[in-house]
Amino acid sequence: MTWLALTRTMRLSIGAASLLCAAFLTASCEKKVAAKENLPGGTGPLPAKVEADLDAGHFKVDHPEQFPMVTAIGRAATPELEVTGAVSPDVSRQTPVPSLATGRVVEINARLGDTVQKGQLLFKVRSTDISGAYADYRKAVKNDELAKTQFVRAKLLFDDGAIPKSALEVAQTTQENAAIDVETAVERLRLLGADPDHPTGIVEVTAPVTGIVTDQQITTASGVQALTAPNPFTISDISHVWILCDVYENDIAQVHEGEYADVRLAAFPNRVLKARIGNIAPAVDPNLRTEKVRLEVENPGYMRLGMFVTATFHGETAEMRATVPASAILHLHDREWVYTPDGNGAFRRVEVVAGSTLPNNMQEILSGVKPGDSLVADALRFQNTVEQ
């Protein structure tokens, strides 16, 4: 045998021996594992093995006894509808404060958000309107004085028979008209906030009611127009406010005017207020498919305009709902699921709609599970097993 042939033969022998050794070791390991599994009182229950079915929500478990089950119990409750909204001023309690004269703002004595009292000075306007009103007032006073003098003179002449009675009547009418002109000029000055005895070109605008300044449209040196929008200020009485909520048209049948809703502020979630349903809008928003529902409530003092609100509407008749431990519900991808037995060690994942959280770590299920249904007590543990 040549040296080359001898080397080739030795390589084949070594390879065959290696394969034989590997096969022997594998068989030995399998026997040891099998023996360990069959030992009485061995190492405990085997880990559960989950086999996914073709159905993505259907799973088969080798040892289903490792997952305790619970039974959904029934609970009588009235249907509830929860919506969101915001605190708004009561329009009927809003008072616009217009400028009484056209001109330029020279002083502002109140600001947005301030609480003002009735009669409090808000701002001042320098205006030619008040200058003209004073001029008309002074002319009316002079004309009135002249008319009075002419009337006295005409009366004396009539008593002496120097003029006819008709001339006396004309003088008397002239004097009366002059007096009316004076009264009109005085009233105009008072409407502009001016004092007839103290001529000035400044108009002072005061608060007509007590409340909070909820809108301000002027700054110092800005121009304003008399009695035209936008109004320089708006004062609101927020002792009574509105809450405007958006309700989907599919749920609007659960809302009725005159009934009451529970209101919770995001800033004070533990405080519950009772608000009366005052109005349901007659039109649906074509984009959002919602209707505006107006709630009316007395302000206890801590409600602020624009605050975020959650309102809960209660139904009239009670219905039976399923109640399960909170651990039986799995929150996955912004949805809620439970696992229910499907026979022969199989389980099915069912989507549910969870309701209110109850004492003792219980939770309502609005749909997907009925009272009496069985489901896995720990959905998260089962899910973790599925993912492994």
* Last residue of one domain, picked from the residues 176, 200, 224: 200
* Last residue of one domain, picked from the residues 146, 169, 200: 200
Predicted pLDDT of residue 77:
78
193 located within any domain: yes
Predicted pLDDT of residue 50:
53
- Of the candidates 42, 53, 78, 28, the residue with the CA atom closest to the CA atom of residue 312: 78
3-state secondary structure of 77: strand
232 located within any domain: no
188 located within any domain: yes
* Positions of the chain with pLDDT lower than 50, given as ranges: 1-42
* Last residue of one domain, picked from the residues 164, 184, 200: 200
Name the residue range of residue 342's domain: 51-78+318-387
286 located within any domain: no
CATH number, domain containing residue 193 = 1.10.287
269 located within any domain: no
27 burial (CB, 10 Å; 0-12 / 13-18 / 19+) is: exposed
- Of the candidates 322, 314, 363, 272, the residue with the CA atom closest to the CA atom of residue 80: 314
167 located within any domain: yes
144 located within any domain: yes
Overall number of domains in the chain: 2
Q: What is the pLDDT of residues 264-290, one digit of tens each?
A: 999 998 999 999 999 999 999 999 999
243 located within any domain: no
Predicted pLDDT of residue 315:
78
Q: What is the pLDDT of residues 117-170, one digit of tens each?
A: 999 999 999 998 888 899 999 999 999 999 999 999 999 999 988 999 999 999
Q: What is the pTM of this model?
A: 0.59
Predicted pLDDT of residue 55:
61
Predicted pLDDT of residue 206:
92
Predicted pLDDT of residue 105:
95
Q: How far is CA 75 from the centre of its chain?
A: 31
CATH number, domain containing residue 371 = 2.40.420.20
